[in-house]
Structure formats: structure tokens, C-alpha cells
Copies of this chain bind each other. A is one copy, B any other.
Amino acid sequence: MDDVYAVIMAGGSGTRFWPLSRASWPKQFLALAGNGRSLLQQTVHRLAGIVPSERVLVVTSEKHADATREQLPELPRENVLAEPEGRNTAPYVAWGAAHVSARNPRGVMAVLPADPFIADEGAYRKVIDRALAAARDGGLITIGVSPTRAETGYGYIETGVELSPGLNRVQRFVEKPDAERAEAFLAAGNFLWNSGMFFFRADAVLAEFERQLPLLHEFATTCRTQLANGQSDIEYARSRYGSLTSISIDHGVMENARDIRVVPGSFGWYDIGSWTTAYELATKDAQGNTLLTEAALIDSENCYVRGEAGKLVALIGARDLVVVDTPDALLIMPRERAQDVKRVVESLKQKHLAKYL
């Protein structure tokens, strides 16, 4: 339908995939799923036939705007919205809504994180279609993923009554639980993973901004007016962005909105949150090794090795090891320590080794 727009949230900082991700080259630019496309490219590509490129907007930081345009050359230049500084996700959505509204006040927005991995794209597209249809009716819609394990790394959505087939009222959003609660959620059967994907008409979400975050509503309205008059909003946005309310779209809008609905779905959704997930999603050989480089392994199992073209990585007696080699930095750790990559990044800041960040 020609009223559908995508707003891709691409503001990642890239700490968890160091040294492949860097301050200048965050996670969304990486081909972590092993299909040759970056996560950002894959997120846009996945919308083929649903949202044409001229209606795909990407919100990213100023320092990543050029790389974003290079990764998505099919997008009109003005569709990349460059934030002068990070203010969490609610300003992304307000700014995106201004741009959509200027083009079509009743335009339907799919607000999507840039970096999930989705295994079953056919199933995903059906869920998207359902969410867009529900949003077109004026509601605020989210997608909830049917949990397959008691995951403590994701937020949850408790579902309420079924309004129509494949569409439930949202009872409440729940923060990341501890292991015991995660088990209870899985057993209860009416909890879904919060995918962070949101769908609404521009006028519907702007009404919620007006009610809940009036400063952001004022910002969006001014941008929309300038755009509707054929002007650029970038100078105004630059001057105001630093004073915008810094809050997530989840906390700032969705959790206290009047009428939130959820489309449940199962489409092999993964938040690639660490090298551990990257290993889990990757193709492995008979010894459980993922070798994304030329390699020579002796007695080594369940290792994830990423290297450089034209360079050999040799492992002897390695178990469950993550090795990520780049031209100027090399990371080696047991897979279970993937959460500690941020400690390396911290230590580099403290040691004034920022050139490696």
C-alpha cells in the first residue's frame, strides 16, 4: 500500500561487537548473520514489496550518516535523518513521524530496529502485513515474539484478550525478568518477547506524543511544518535536538498509551546481542566451529573465528573460544564471557587507547 513508511532506528554504538564494531562502525553495519548483507541492509531488504526505498527513513547519528547512505545507496539522501546527538528512541520516532506526516498525515509507520536477525522472512512478512493493517485502523501496534526459552535478556509483553485472530490487547510491558520469572512467563503461555517493532499512523503516534511528551510533540510539529512548506528541518533539528527529552519509545509512549495491541508471531527472531548469539546463529562444521576466515584447527571445538582476508588463524586445543581478528585489534575470549567485551571497551577508554575504539 502506498501509505506505508518504515522508520529504521539505527543509532547503535557498537560496544558489544568490538573489535569488529567500532565507534565509527557500529553493529548495524556488520554482516553478522553471514549472508553478506549488513544487519541494516538486511532490515531494509526484508521490506521489499512492502515498503519501497523512497518511503524508508533511517534515523542515525551524524557521525554514521555517511556510512548509512553508502550502505543504502537506493535511499534518497534526505531519507537519512542524522541526529546531532543521541537522545534515546522516542526522539527518533517523533522526528520520523514528522517526516511521514509531512508526506501523508495518515501514513502508516513501521518503526523497526536496524539490527535484529530474522530466520523466517516469509512468516515475518505475514506478521508485518497484519500489524500494518491493524495500525491503519488507528491503533498503536507492537509485534510480540512467541518465546522458545526462558530468556532473561529480553523484555516481555503480557497479552490480554484477543480482539481478532492474531491481534491481542496488550495487558502490560515487562522489563527483562530474572530466570525464575522468565520460567514463569514461559509456562504461563500469555507472554511474548518484546521485539521493539512498533506500528502506527503518524497522526496516532503524534497524538500520543502530544498527550505524554509535549516537548517532543512540539519538536515534531515544527519539523513537519517546515517540511510541508518544502523547507529542510535540519537546521531547526540541530538547534533543538540536545534539549529533547531523552527517553525510549517503550517507556515514553507505548507503556502508557491508551490502546496498545500486539500481533503475536514466530519468525525466527533474534536480537544479535553479543558474539555468543552470532555464534549460535552461524553455520558450524562437524566440530561445532564457525570459521569465517582461512583456518587450521587442531583438536578444537565449538569456536567462532572471524578473521581478515588473506590471513590464517591457527588454533590448537581450543574449546568454546571466540576469536575476532581485525587489522588493528584482536579479541580472544571464552564464548561465555561475551558480555565482558564492554569491559575491554571501558578499559581502552580509561587507558587512553581510544584509537582502538
The interface of chain A, by Cβ under 8 A from chain B, is: 18-19, 294, 296, 298-299, 307, 310-318, 321, 323, 325, 327-334, 337, 340-341, 343-344, 347-348, 351, 353, 356
Q: Take A294-B353, A296-B353 as given contacts and tell me if A312 and B340 are in contact as well, using a CB distance cutoff of 8 Å.
A: no
Whether the pair B330, A330 counts as a contact (CB closer than 8 A) is yes
Whether the pair A330, B347 counts as a contact (CB closer than 8 A) is no
Whether the pair A334, B312 counts as a contact (CB closer than 8 A) is no
- Complex Cα distance, B337 from A314, in Å, reads 13
Task: List the B side residues contacting A334 at CB < 8 Å.
Answer: 316-317
Q: A328's closest neighbor in chain B, by CB?
A: B311
Whether the pair B317, A337 counts as a contact (CB closer than 8 A) is yes
Whether the pair A329, B344 counts as a contact (CB closer than 8 A) is no
Which of A307, A310, A330, A351 has the largest number of chain B CB atoms within 10 A?
A330
- A282, chain B: closest CB distance, angstroms: 19
Whether the pair B313, A328 counts as a contact (CB closer than 8 A) is no
Q: Take A307-B330, A332-B332 as given contacts and tell me if A316 and B296 are in contact as well, using a CB distance cutoff of 8 Å.
A: no
Task: List the B side residues contacting A348 at CB < 8 Å.
Answer: 296, 312
- A300, chain B: closest CB distance, angstroms: 9
Contact of A323 among B298, B312, B332 (CB under 8 A): B332
Whether the pair B312, A328 counts as a contact (CB closer than 8 A) is yes
- Complex Cα distance, B300 from A347, in Å, reads 14
Contact of A314 among B307, B321, B331 (CB under 8 A): B331
- A90, chain B: closest CB distance, angstroms: 34
Q: A350's closest neighbor in chain B, by CB?
A: B296
- Complex Cα distance, B329 from A343, in Å, reads 27
Task: List the B side residues contacting A311 at CB < 8 Å.
Answer: 327-330
Contact sample, A vs B, 7 pairs, CB 8 Å cutoff? A299-B337, A310-B328, A311-B327, A313-B329, A316-B337, A316-B343, A317-B333
